[in-house]
Amino acid sequence: MRRSIPLAICLIMGIVMMVQFFVPHPISVGFYDLTTKWIRIVSAFALVLGVGSLILYHLDRLQRRRAGWVYSIVTLVALVVTAVIGLVWGVKPGSPLQEVIFKNMLVPLNASMFAILAFYMASAAYRAFRARTKEAALLLIAAFIVMLGMVPVGAAIWGKLPEVAEWILSVPNMAAKRAIVFGVALGAIATSLKVILGIERGWLGGGK
């Protein structure tokens, strides 16, 4: 019963949602409106599950004194402090959550993390980007052209460089990209059908 009811709901809703997409009847549209409201409610419950899971994971790390357990304290304190500030003073513009947590903590921390990537990329490219094989050499040349073609200095070196970079991006890159996207889409369709038909049951939890 605990398994068959969720499986039945999934089968019925999966088929109904597929069919309603192609049927513009008022009943179909009304049903669709209702389900989008349900999705928003379910999304809100997902937050509760996510926070619960995060707390349990970090409490476990603390209890077992796993490597880096001190960071778990930081995570839990940050979670509690942010939540309390949000609950007491709200999330509106001008609130401590926006002014202190977002503007003065999240923005500089996030921006710094992204900015130092450039330094690591330069160092990593210097150490690891080697033309050891024909394929690696080809990748290296393509990367060279695209990197130069995407900045004004590339056009200053050779006027046609941006066009060559553009060709690499829109022809060979696109061919590979499209193949990957098609593959992923077909995989998603197959997985969705397996879920709808009850063949794939991982989402129920607890393994097979």
Partner 1 sequence: MSIWERLLKIDRKIIFVVMAVLVLFPLLKPLGLGVSSGPRAKAVFDAVDAIPPGKTLLISVDFDPASMPELYPMLVALMRHAFARDVKVLLCGLWITGAGLADKAVTEIPPEYGKEYGKDVVYLGWKAGVDAVILGMGENIKNVFPVDYYGHPLDSLPMMQDVVRLRDIPFMVAISAGTPGFGDWLLYGQSRYGLRVGAGVTAVSAADAYPYLQTGQLTGLLAGMKGAAEYEVLVAKKGYSKAYMPGVAAMDSQSLAHLVILILVVLGNVAFFATRMKRR
Task: Using CB under 8 A, list all residues that contact partner 1.
Answer: 21, 29, 32-33, 36-37, 39-40, 42-44, 46-47, 92-93, 98, 102-103, 106-108, 110-111, 113-115, 118-119, 121-123, 125-127, 129-131, 140, 144, 147-148, 150-156, 162, 166, 169-170, 173-174, 177-178, 181
Distance of CA 154 to the CA centre of its chain: 32
Query: Are the beta carbons of 10 and 195 closer than 8 angstroms?
Result: yes
Judged by beta carbon, residue 4 or residue 36, the one nearer partner 1 is 36
Instruction: State in angstroms the smallest separation of the CB of 186 from partner 1.
Output: 15
What residues have CB less than 8 Å from 130, skipping those under 6 apart?
Answer: 136
Judged by beta carbon, residue 166 or residue 200, the one nearer partner 1 is 166
> What are the C-alpha distances in Å from 63 to residues 4, 30, 81, 82, 126?
37, 50, 21, 23, 42
Instruction: State in angstroms the smallest separation of the CB of 26 from partner 1.
Output: 12
Write the DSSP symbol of residue 131. Answer: -
Residue 165, class by beta-carbon neighbours within 10 Å (0-12 exposed, 13-18 middle, 19+ buried)?
buried
Instruction: State in angstroms the smallest separation of the CB of 150 from partner 1.
Output: 6
What residues have CB less than 8 Å from 90, skipping those under 6 apart?
Answer: 97
Judged by beta carbon, residue 126 or residue 203, the one nearer partner 1 is 126
Task: List, as own/partner pairs, every contact residues 185-192 make where C-beta atoms lie below 8 angstroms and the sequence separation is at least 24, other chains included.
Answer: 192/14
Judged by beta carbon, residue 65 or residue 92, the one nearer partner 1 is 92
Q: Which two tokens stand for residue 150?
A: 């995407």
Let me know the angle formed at the C-alpha of 93 by 91 and 99, rounded to the nearest 5 degrees: 85
Instruction: State in angstroms the smallest separation of the CB of 102 from partner 1.
Output: 5
Judged by beta carbon, residue 53 or residue 170, the one nearer partner 1 is 170
Judged by beta carbon, residue 76 or residue 168, the one nearer partner 1 is 168
Instruction: State in angstroms the smallest separation of the CB of 156 from partner 1.
Output: 6
Instruction: State in angstroms the smallest separation of the CB of 42 from partner 1.
Output: 8
Query: Are the beta carbons of 77 and 62 closer than 8 angstroms?
Result: no
